[in-house]
Chains A and B, each alone.
Chain A
């Protein structure tokens, strides 16, 4: 039994998704309980796997007993294990938070919603656990397809945003598949570790170079790296609150994980760094993404749209940090995947609470938040300080690593962009603080376009405040225990060629 646990992490939400859908025919509320149970089970298994990896090293699991490179292998090292814990716990917290907001925003579709939610989580967990390039493509599409449907459930404009996301996302996935095909022609293998051994002899081959370019471009679309980010702001801003709170922090981060896998497990670091010089290009793309995201965020009047551009800037941090390609910056990039997911999730939960209370999510709706909904305001402050990067929140430490790495590698453009983005973030969030502290803003008339948004006078229920509070506490705890996390987990994710 216990040796099959890696497979159960993926199968549990997948199977539960079907039961959630059918259980709604008999008992309307049973589906939600199943979701929580399944995600809690996933969370417990992921934590167990992480501790097993920390004590005993990487876990190999052969699906159906077929040896790699013929069969599909699940290979879990420190990086995967961290991602599994992040995905399962974050989706559990968001699910716990979203019961009320889903019932308010999507009253007829709760069972469908939760079933798609679990499929989305299944896809993300699968991407992170698999060691097979084609399997990764299939699970990428599982999460992307359920993501398209979830986003389309949102406000008026979400339909068109979702169509655009489908078109771009499918092009990205097709490019990725084409790249995998090129690698398969040259090597005859799809297993990541096997490819890692076969490819170094073929680094001068044009087929391999083309395959690598297609994979990087495809993942670049999925990760929403600056010139390929067009689908992201609309899709995340107009999706239902519960959907933004799970897709926005996780989807792009998981793709960043896939990028790291392709660059440093399938290909060896010296290919990415000295054969193709792709890391130099990534630093520049990252730098431009940071500046573009920060400036665009400043010009938004909608809180969720503003957060979407903050995500584009944060993606710039991660991609740039990978591109700097030294140990400290790489630690910073991996740590930032973790931190950014937590703090963006926290802020999107705040947006969901504002939506619940006032019926809108414009920055104007934050008016008087400190007096009308003080707990939400405190949670928002913690999230905002983390994005700005104030110690002891976690955002400070990953930025610090990225900054030190950039200085060590003499990437001054990247360092300048990091510092400038921090300054812009200060302006960004103090604009919201300014509204939130405005005492006379008692009118919460929120008849905005979109979902029926009559304001909820009784305030935000505890079932929403507690999960968001847990995330706010996690931001501070991850910050305080950053040394432990870096030493026990992130240190081992740094590829050996640095």
Chain B
């Protein structure tokens, strides 16, 4: 038990992303309402984004602008003084992708609602079988 606590605390970012990802997957699988499913899908994407952002962080490091570093300008740039900006830049793109996916999904859901007057999956399936 005493070994478990440090693991939980030192890897807290991983636990958070795993928890978020499972919440998202559960919503996609178990929820009956299409909007809830899509929100679950978005939570899953956000979990991956948080994972990427957390891996850029370092202890005792500052934002990756050279002026802000320790003794900036007096010696060669020391990578350990700065957090890693690359995962953050990647995630800017991934956030745009996630927003676009959410937009397309919600637009489709509006069309589904116009057609079937409901967003509950079982009712949609029942109406599709009637036709």
Contacts and interface: CB of A to CB of B under 8 A. Distances in A.
Interface of A: 134, 137-138, 141, 145, 148-149, 152, 156-157, 159-160, 162-163, 166-167, 170-171, 174, 177-178, 181, 184-185, 449
B131 A145 contact: no
A56 B52 CA distance: 39
Given A159-B108, A163-B112, A178-B48, A145 B100 contact: yes
Nearest to B52: A181
Main secondary structure of the interface of A (DSSP, over half): helix
B80 interface: no
Contacts of A167: 28, 37-38, 41, 105
B108 A171 contact: no
Contact of A163 (B34, B48, B90): B34
A90 to B, nearest CB: 25
Contacts of B97: 137-138, 141
Interface centre among A137, A138, A157, A174 (most CB of B within 10 A): A174
Interface in B37-53: 37-38, 41, 44-45, 48, 51-52
A137 B124 CA distance: 32
B41 A166 contact: yes
A15 B124 CA distance: 38
Interface string B81-93: 0000001001001
Nearest to B51: A181
11 contacts: A145-B101, A156-B128, A160-B128, A163-B34, A166-B41, A166-B101, A167-B41, A170-B105, A171-B41, A177-B94, A181-B52
B23 interface: no
A160 B112 contact: yes
B63 interface: no
B106 to A, nearest CB: 10
B101 A171 contact: no
Contacts of B87: 181, 184
B55 A174 contact: no
A141 B102 CA distance: 12
Nearest to A149: B104
B25 interface: yes
Contacts of A185: 55
Contacts of B101: 141, 145, 166, 170
The size bracket of the interface on B is 20 to 34
Contact of B128 (A137, A149, A157): A157
B48 A177 contact: yes
B28 A171 contact: yes
A185 B84 CA distance: 11
Contacts of A145: 100-101, 104
B41 A170 contact: yes
A401 B28 CA distance: 41
B111 interface: yes
B108 A166 contact: yes
B115 A148 contact: no
B55 A171 contact: no
A67 to B, nearest CB: 15
B44 A171 contact: yes
Contact of B45 (A138, A159, A162, A170): A170
Contacts of B55: 181, 184-185
Contacts of B61: none
A157 B127 CA distance: 11
Given A141-B97, A145-B101, A156-B115, A174 B44 contact: yes
A127 to B, nearest CB: 14
Contacts of A184: 55, 87
A159 B24 CA distance: 22
Contacts of A149: 104
Given A138-B97, A167-B37, A170-B44, 5 more contacts: A138-B93, A160-B112, A167-B38, A181-B52, A184-B87
B130 to A, nearest CB: 11
Contacts of B37: 167
A163 B108 contact: yes
Contacts of A171: 25, 28, 41, 44
Contacts of B131: 156, 449
Contacts of B93: 134, 138
B22 interface: no
Nearest to B100: A145
B111 A159 contact: yes
Interface in B93-122: 93-94, 97, 100-101, 104-105, 108-109, 111-112, 115
A162 B108 contact: yes
